[in-house]
Amino acid sequence: MWRRRVADKVNAMLYSPLFLTCFFVAAAALAWWRTGIERQSGQTWESLIGRLKDCHGRELSPQFLWREGLSMGPDETWHRLGGPRGLWSLYRNACVMMEMAEFAARHTGVEPEIVEALRCNAMQIRLYVVTALVQCVLQQANDGVQVQAFRAASVYTGMAARMADLLRTHALVELPQFVAAM
């Protein structure tokens, strides 16, 4: 008798909406993880560099890709980035450059400290961009948005310079394509 009650409870649990939702979420997460692994195995320098978007980097600094830092204030940086679209390009490019660093670590033996520094830069850029975009939606591009965009662009120029240096050291053949894409 008690086995029958336990079996009924287990059957009821298996068909409950909460259980089914958890099952489908777990299945979707597993599928997403698997496609990421497959995409990672098919990466090349060309495919990674091809994913970079133009974010007006050359307009941010005269020494873009060779030296870190900006040569203008937050207001001008915001206008040269092109507003929210430019910020989103910074966000996407930071993710791609992080993947490039991890690719280099897997295939050319880049020091883990360099990869970790680039990962930290990418996270900072993402945080500044998301904060700026939320502020932009809520407050319509005030000074706070421009300051966040300036911070993101400042970290981005440093990250791009470090990535160019990494390519110069470990994948010199790919450097011209990287410079052209940026």
Blockwise average pLDDT, block size 10, the chain, 182 residues:
61 65 80 69 81 76 70 84 88 90 84 89 93 83 82 89 86 81 76
How confident is the model at residue 3, as a pLDDT? 61
Q: Whole-angstrom Cα distance, residue 69 to residue 66?
A: 10
Side-chain half-sphere exposure of 150, counting CA atoms within 13 A? 15
Q: Whole-angstrom Cα distance, residue 57 to residue 173?
A: 21
Contact 68, 148 (CB under 8 A): no
Q: Give the residue carrying structure tokens 């993880």.
A: 33
pLDDT, tens digit, for every residue of 12-41? 666 667 666 877 888 888 777 777 666 666
Q: Whole-angstrom Cα distance, residue 141 to residue 84?
A: 9
**In the chain, which ranges are E strands?**
none
Helix (H, G, I), strand (E, B) or coil at 181: helix
